[in-house]
Every structure is written in C-alpha cells, then in structure tokens.
Amino acid sequence: NDVLASIDAHDGKVGAYLTLDREDALAQAKAADEKRAAGGSHPMLGIPVAIKDLLNVKGQPCTCSSKILEGYTAPYDATVIAKLREAGAVLLGRVNMDEFAMGSSTENAALGKTSNPWNLDRVPGGSSGGSAACVAADEAIASLGSDTGGSIRQPAAFCGCVGVKPTYGRVSRYGLTAFASSLDQIGPLTKTVKDSAILLETLCGHDQLDSSSIEMEVPAFSRNLSGDTSLAGLKLGLPKEFFVEGMDPEIEKSIRDAVEHCKGLGAEIVDVSLPNAKYAIAVYYIIATAEASANLARFDGIRYGMRLDGKDPAELYAKTRAAGFGQEVKRRIILGTYVLSSGYYDAYYKKAQKVRTLIRDDFTEAFKRCDAILAPVTPTAAYRKGEKTDDPLKMYLDDILTTPINLAGNCALSVPCGFTSNGMPIGLQIIGDAFREETILKVGHAYE
C-alpha cells in the first residue's frame, strides 16, 4: 500500500509505469501475507518488484514500449518471473524502457515518457529508465531490468540506485524479449547492494529453457553482506583507459575519491590495462545490431501484436513493420542486416567478433592482477531531455564504459558514489570476472 501511495503521489510526474493492475498487486500482497502467516520466510516474500516491459508475465501486456506490440498479452511467465512468484514477491506493474531496449535515455520509448526523479527535466537513463526511476522515486522496492550494453548500470547511475549486470549465463533469458542474445542479461535494480544481492540470488540458476544458462552453483550472495566493510586482502584494479577523454571532471573526481575510500577500507589498488576497450563501442554496435536484426524478424505482423493488411504477405510485413517500429529500431535493423550481408560480413561482423575476443582477453589478463576493477559507469551524469536525441552517435558514445563488460560476458554493478554540483547522482562501476558476483557485491556493500 505504501508503494501504491507513492506511485499515486509521484508517477504523474516521473512516468515510470506503463501499466499497473492494482487489484492484482493487492491480491498478490494478500497472498504473500497468508504465506507468511503459514511460515513462509523467503526474503523476497511480499516485496513489490516492478518489471521492465520486455519480460513476459502471463496475462499481462509486454510491449517493449513499441507500437508493434501494443495490445499483445504474454501467454507465459519468463523464468525470472516464475522464480519471483515462487518466492512470493509481488509483481507490480510494467515499467517504461527504450523501445526493444535500444537506447540510453528512455527517449526512444514509443508508449510513455519517463523523467529522472532527481530532476524532472533530465533523462532517467536507459534503456531500463523506468526500472531505475521507479526505485529512485520509492515507487517500488526493487525492479528488474535488462542489460545488453549498460541498460541496468547506466540508468542506476543516472537515478542514484544500485544495479547489477550478472555474468552472461547466470540468469535465464527465457521469456526476455531478445535484443542481442549473446549480450542480454536480466538483473536487479534496488536502493542498496544487499537488496540487489537478495534479488539476484532469487533470479539466478540453470534453466533448461535457456541453452546459454550455465549449470553452476549459485552462492547465497547476500550471506556475507552484514556489516563487514573491510576490504583487506582484496586487490582492486584501476584501468587508465576508463578515464576517457571528454569525461566530466566531477565524475572523475568522484570516482577517484571512491577509490581512495576503498583504499581506506583496506583494499590494495593496482593499475590494470584494458587496451582494446576503446573498440568496444564499434564492436558492440556491430554485434548488437546484427543480433537485433535477426531477433526482431519475428515481429512480422502475423505472430504478435499489430497487423496492418496488405495484398500479399510481403506487403503485410512491410506495412506492419514500417508503422510498428520506431526510428531507432529501424536504424538498427538496417545496420544489422548490412553488417551481416555477404560481402560485408567478413569486413564488419567477423572482424568485430575477433576484436570481441581481444576485449575479453584483456579482462582475463587484468583479473590475474586484481579481484575486481573500479571504474566510472558513464562519462557524464544525467543530461537534459532532448540533448542527444538528434545525434544517435553521441548517444552511442556514452556506452563506452559499460559495453566492454557485456562483450566480455563479465559481471558488474553500479553503486551511487556522489553527486555533481547540479545535484545529479554519479555511479561507481565495480567490475568482476565471470561468476565473481560475490566479490563485486562485497566491494559494493563495503563501499556504500
């Protein structure tokens, strides 16, 4: 009820939610109360969680903030949703995002407008902008987002909350509307690192329905996060390449202060180098668009959502896709089909895959020298709405510090580490080697 009251008070301005079924949420809360009375004690029991509008929840809309999926109802639960139900969490409404998760400001959303709760004239980040804004505005205790190239960490940084991108394969992608299948991961957004750890351990685990999910034990991530803030014995790497040209000096200062703080907690700081990370944007926008062009082929006007009539199937597809997809989605489908087309495949796609391996190898080398890496999440804090909408390239360049992690398949989290002089939150990125979530959560918990 507190959360619903908060939604009533703030969401008119923040615009995080696309849809919310109050009756259903209250019924779930009541069921959770009954489960508790019967002895239920899962830490997620009764916790209201908002869901990014690209995860299938049976019987609810799943629009991906796209006109092409307006009116579509999900016929099944994503695995993460089934896990939340099992734990007794309350599935709150569906929150806004960039269309099909393509964007960094939630301005590519076709079905809603979301503002940064810290300053309504500014963007909440993206693509999980609604997921971050609702947590920051106390309109949910936690939310689920997805991160293909930064979409959990960047909005978390822009809205001053915690967000985790798990290692690729940790969380089942079954029921997640795919953007770039080799990069996508679902993860939590919360107010504290401990809350993220609790939600994450609920989401993780092998799933036969996702062939890329890994069969590996899931540690109780939240187990060691009570009070102990010593970082003694841990080596934290600082990559010089992540203090990029054009970075806001206030962000750089905040990160350097955070590094000093970790040193004060007992960590040893070592220099590491990620020389190929500078190619991450180019590589990411080839691989992600290539995979997106294939994944979005399923929206053909026949199987899901919108359908416009045509004299033959080809015309029906063309008309539906022309009317249903937004500009950025079309741009990426065209880019993706281009880099995959014969004649260009070797020059772009194949080369990008090779550089992806080099980026991953850099991390492997770096993690021989340290337990986790500290870095900024973004070169700038949340900017004014409309500031980058006319220049997609400018928006792409902001992904420079988050995309390398997805390309490498590692895990990383974003934790608030201060404010700019105009009052916008700044995020510290803590990057871990594959399946080292425990380490980054420990560092994040000690730091926050």
Residues binding ligand GLN (CB under 6 A): 101-104, 127, 147-151, 179, 288, 399
CB of 26 to ligand GLN, least distance (A): 32
Single out the catalytic residue among 66, 104, 105, 127. Answer: 127
CB of 46 to ligand GLN, least distance (A): 30
Q: How far is the C-alpha of 105 from the C-alpha of 383, rounded, in Å?
A: 9
State which residue, 292 or 374, has the beta carbon closest to ligand GLN.
292
196 is catalytic: no
293-298: list long-range contacts, CB under 8 Å, 24+ apart.
293/332, 293/333, 293/334, 293/335, 293/336, 293/337, 293/340, 294/336, 294/340, 295/178, 295/179, 295/180, 295/181, 296/100, 296/325, 296/329, 296/333
Q: Give 349's Cβ-side CA count (13 Å radius).
A: 17
Q: How far is the C-alpha of 239 from the C-alpha of 313, rounded, in Å?
A: 52
Say if CB 333 and CB 299 are below 8 A apart.
no
State which residue, 117 or 149, has the beta carbon closest to ligand GLN.
149
State which residue, 28 or 127, has the beta carbon closest to ligand GLN.
127
CB of 288 to ligand GLN, least distance (A): 6
127 is catalytic: yes
Single out the catalytic residue among 66, 115, 146, 151. Answer: 151
151 is catalytic: yes
CB of 427 to ligand GLN, least distance (A): 14
CB of 147 to ligand GLN, least distance (A): 5
State which residue, 179 or 242, has the beta carbon closest to ligand GLN.
179
State which residue, 152 or 198, has the beta carbon closest to ligand GLN.
152
Determine the residue type at 266.
Answer: G
User: Nearest to ligand GLN by Cβ — which residue?
Assistant: 151
Q: How far is CA 121 from CA 110, 386, 441, in A?
A: 19, 10, 32
Single out the catalytic residue among 52, 83, 385, 388. Answer: 52
Structure tokens at 3: 């959360």
What residues are labeled active site? 52, 127, 151
